[in-house]
Amino acid sequence: MGQSFTSLRKLRLSVLLVSLPLGMLQLGLPLVAREMGASALVTGGLLSVSALIIVAVQPVVGLGLDRFGRRSFLIVGLLGYACSNAIFGLASGITGLFLAQLAQGIGAGLLWVAALAIVSDLSSADSRGQEYGGIEEMSIRGILIGTLAGFAVFYLLSRDALGGLPLVTSWRIVFLGFTAASLLAAAIVWRGIPESLQRSSDRPRKASAVPKDQPVKLEKKWRFSSQLYIVLGIVILTASAGAIISPILIKYLNDNVSTNLFGIALAFLPAALAGAVLPSRLGGLSDRIGRRPPLIGALLVGGIATLAIPFAQSLWPLALLWAFEAAAFAAAIPAEEALVVDLSGSERLGVTLGFYTAAAGLGAVIGPLLGGWLFDRFDALSVFGTAASLMALGAGLILLLVREPSR
């Protein structure tokens, strides 16, 4: 019990460190890409490329987790993030940004599914939602710290007293700092987190060895229950909905609501604070009332918040809506992860989580491309309306089609 607690604590710290650049990528990458001459569609492709790599590698990574263990995949994933941040820090054009996103996709494809598997190994079904909430919480804390620090550096270095450095130069300085943080996270895992695979079931470790009829066994590992297929389909749909607005959100706010980039970053602060303190507290909600209610509620709240964006006259009503939305998703994301694990057999946990994270990655590929295409072809309202409609559809499908297994 003591070793499990220590491992989870160090895992949460590593997740915080590796998450530092994620907010800057979501908010700042479209701006840097625009400075380098990218269109909305190219920006959407830039945001999608890492997710495309995730879709390609994570099912295979999941199978490797079940056969070879979790720890090595986690360490290599952290090093992939460090490599990505270094390329972002050195990139001088769109090609460099695409290469950095490629490296990040490889790192993410290894890291996050391994982290989810480790949490499942070290927690029980009755506490799984809470433990997943703790990981989500630390990731959002990292995003919050990294975003505020990054935009503060942007602001300070843009002032005439400090030389008035251009945005791209400030971006490079920030991401070289994020590189050091990712390397520190890898060192923490290397020194402090032992292999957890033997805790993934009550059976002895040797019982999980691959038998002589290996091809038949591996084939069965790729077959899931009909309920899990339904959940994976809904994950693709809702992940697409959440990512549709990413290529145009900051540009839209900057052009139509506020020209102050630091003010825009501050408008996300209440949501970030909610995400930084609530998931470990609300993640356990699904352990008590079931997995479906938090998912349905979050999607409906998210749809309302998305629809409100084109009607906003200032940032602060949006800030309140985003905070409410973040609180809803603080309960929903751990519930979704726990539901996937509930529907999985313990002997194929890794491959199930691999397909789950790949499904979310596929949505992250589809969403920005669709959002960029809608914006270039029609207007911003069509982007926000499509995102809200897909969220409402996802909530309805969960209500009508998803059935939770007994725990």
pLDDT attached to residue 199 = 43
Show the tokens assigned to 373. Answer: 């295409």
CA distance 83 to 78: 9
Which residues neighbour 3 within 8 Å (Cβ) at sequence distance 6 or greater? 194
C-alpha 117, offset from chain centre: 15
CA distance 53 to 109: 7
pLDDT attached to residue 205 = 41
Mean pLDDT of the region 63-69: 84
Domains by residue range for the chain, with CATH:
2-196+222-401 (1.20.1250.20)
Plot region of 245 (φ>0 → left; ψ -120 to 50 → alpha; else → beta): alpha
pLDDT attached to residue 223 = 67
List pLDDT tens digits, range 214-233. Answer: 443 444 555 678 889 999 99
Q: Which residue has the higher pLDDT, 37 or 68?
A: 68
- 22-31, 90-99, 193-202, range with the lowest pLDDT: 193-202
Both ends of the chain: CA-CA distance in Å?
Answer: 21
Do 136 and 15 touch, CB atoms closer than 8 A? no
Show the tokens assigned to 31. Answer: 């701006």
> Comparing C-alpha atoms, which of 30, 47, 40 is closest to residue 376?
40
Do 70 and 11 touch, CB atoms closer than 8 A? no
| Angle at which helices 94-121 and 71-90 cross, to 10° | 160
The model's confidence at residue 85, banded by pLDDT at 50, 70 and 90, is: very high
CA distance 259 to 389: 29
Average confidence score pLDDT of the chain: 82
CA distance 337 to 116: 8
pLDDT attached to residue 164 = 66
Do 273 and 328 touch, CB atoms closer than 8 A? no
Show the tokens assigned to 111. Answer: 């890291």
Helix (H, G, I), strand (E, B) or coil at 260: coil
pLDDT attached to residue 160 = 56
Do 228 and 354 touch, CB atoms closer than 8 A? no
List pLDDT tens digits, range 103-147. Answer: 998 998 899 889 988 888 887 767 777 788 888 889 988 988 898
Helix (H, G, I), strand (E, B) or coil at 180: helix
List pLDDT tens digits, range 339-386. Answer: 888 887 666 778 888 888 888 888 877 888 888 888 888 888 898 999
Mean pLDDT of the region 27-38: 77
Q: Is the pLDDT of residue 244 over 90?
A: no
Q: Considering all CA atoms of the chain, what is the largest pairwise distance in Å, rounded to the nearest integer?
A: 71
pLDDT attached to residue 217 = 46
